[in-house]
Structure 1
């Protein structure tokens, strides 16, 4: 372990601030969505990803990848959402082994109702606390990290 590049105090401070802030921000956004609309942040994220797809539909494997989830975890989540009428699963007509998740009218209505609450929370708890310059730096930094992570094998 002698070749480990341990984090310096400023690096550790940046890392801890990111980790704790991200966890607390997600908890806050989740609480606001569940209190106002009885939808979890993770379910809301599924609805958002489906909404931006052509026809509001996406292969389950691609959806799992987009959300950073496992296929198994997403299958359970979508099963719950399907029971609530927010999404439905249909066979992929191009690949009989594949399954497509589709946004339903009820899911679209919930997304339409919940989006203002979510955006308000994102603004109040993050965006409006940053200067325009900090927003640009944050965007550039996390875009670079995301590109790096996309290039790694699953």
Structure 2
């Protein structure tokens, strides 16, 4: 049986994703001591109002479960990049907040990711990037509130 065009696209996207993650992980790990997943988490926190997000909102933005976010936060807490905060009005609500050290790391790591992404996508027209970004955002359910 022949694969459909949509299946072929999804398989190619998965392979491209894996190659991209390997490249980001390698550079971010050797230069900054973090993974691309760590970078994504820190980036979301750094762009959030007050530098903090409810853990459930962070999970949604990262496409993880609540327990997956908890596991991702632990090593970042141990090295002082994030802290846990509770809501004084509701102890059931947990926040993750980026520290000053975490903010500084994100600034430096963003320069690295900008170089890598520029290299990966060199020669791709801005209009093509915009169209692909819109498509990927649609597939991921990204909107203004969870970007």
Q: Same fold (TM over 0.5)?
A: yes
Unaligned runs of 5+ in 2: none
Q: CA deviation at 1:75?
A: 0.6
Tell me the TM-score normalized by structure 1: 0.83
* Residue aligned with 1:100, SS: strand
Unaligned runs of 5+ in 1: 1-5
Farther-moved stretch of structure 1 (115-124 vs 91-100)? 91-100
1:47 paired with 2:42, answer yes
* 1:48-127 paired onto structure 2 within 5 Å: 48-126=43-121
Q: CA deviation at 1:112?
A: 1.4
1:133 paired with 2:131, answer no
Provide the aligned length of Structure 1 versus Structure 2: 143
Farther-moved stretch of structure 1 (105-114 vs 7-16)? 7-16
Cα RMSD for the two superposed structures: 2.0
Q: CA deviation at 1:7?
A: 6.6
Distance 2:138 2:4 in 1: 23
Q: CA deviation at 1:12?
A: 3.6
